Amino acid sequence: MTTFPAPAHRVDRWLGKTSRYCLVIPVINEGKRIVALLDRMRALGIGSKIDIIIVDGGSTDGSLASDILDRGQVRGLIVKTGPGKLGAQLRCAYGFALDQGYDGIVTIDGNNKDDPDEIPDFMRALDEGYDFAQASRFIPGGVEENTPTSRRLAIKLLHAPALSLASGFRWTDTTQGFRAYSAKLLRDPQVDIFRDVFSVYEMLAYLNYRVPKLGYRCIELPTARRYPANEKVPTKINWRGQVDLIGTLFKTCIGGFNPPKVR
């Protein structure tokens, strides 16, 4: 359990802290995708560089069996049992990580769309004093494959420009979950991420907006994001989710998620 406000959860696995940073991987029924990601990271030796912590939203597909976690060098498994989706999972994991004394947190999606060989780049950004490192497939050195057309247009024509204008920092890829945060940033009461309002995807847009406005050092890093070509709809966000994201974006850009005392 964490001392920070977070949805109900349990810690099913904890082998202890060995690194300055941890890698948080949110999952729910990712099946072969999370297994493939863990295998890729094992081949790269990621587990010897950063502590791997999976936060599960309630998987029932058997993809987090003990032998899979052992092989993947996973040090922690947190299972959210309370309400909420991605934002709730992240609050559980971030609170746990801060309680363990990590200096920073890297987050990568558990769907195997991102290249794990870029994880050390995010650790290096934290070493260099950046408080927020955001992945981008749209800057020089970045790679995108099979991005759904609606997603690509929404990011490039709406989401990233709106958050850039509102935050004062030029973002190019603001829906990416591949990120790194300093512990200082996550603990800041002026950011205040441990609120129930961050339940689904709200936290991602909020941090792109709020963090630059507080003067924290931010950077985008080139990454590859590859959607599988053989999936009809290679994303979990349906049309209703897209509409909700637009509403969240608007609320974010007018300060609607700011801590109550600073609105």
Contact 159, 208 (CB under 8 A): no
pLDDT reported for residue 234: 45
**For 15-47, how does the pLDDT look when each residue is reduced to its tens digit (9 = 90+)?**
999 999 999 999 999 999 999 999 999 999 999
Across the 263 residues of the chain, what is the mean pLDDT of every consecutive 10-residue run?
91 98 98 97 98 97 96 98 97 98 98 97 98 98 94 93 98 97 98 97 97 98 92 52 80 96 62
How far apart CA 88 and CA 90 sit, in angstroms, is 5
pLDDT reported for residue 238: 52
Any idea what the Cα angle at residue 115 is, between residues 193 and 98, rounded to 5°? Answer: 25
| Homologous superfamily assigned to 9-262 | Spore Coat Polysaccharide Biosynthesis Protein SpsA; Chain A (3.90.550.10)
How far apart CA 137 and CA 74 sit, in angstroms, is 27
pTM to 2 decimal places: 0.94
pLDDT reported for residue 262: 58
**For 216-247, how does the pLDDT look when each residue is reduced to its tens digit (9 = 90+)?**
999 999 999 999 887 554 455 554 556 677 88
pLDDT reported for residue 167: 98
Residue 11 Ramachandran class (φ > 0 left, ψ -120 to 50 alpha, else beta): beta
Counting every residue, how long is the chain? Answer: 263
Contact 41, 74 (CB under 8 A): no
Burial label, 65 (beta-carbon count in 10 A; 0-12, 13-18, 19+): exposed
C-alpha pair distances (Å), 127 with each of 34, 48, 104, 131, 133: 27, 17, 9, 10, 11
How far apart CA 76 and CA 217 sit, in angstroms, is 29
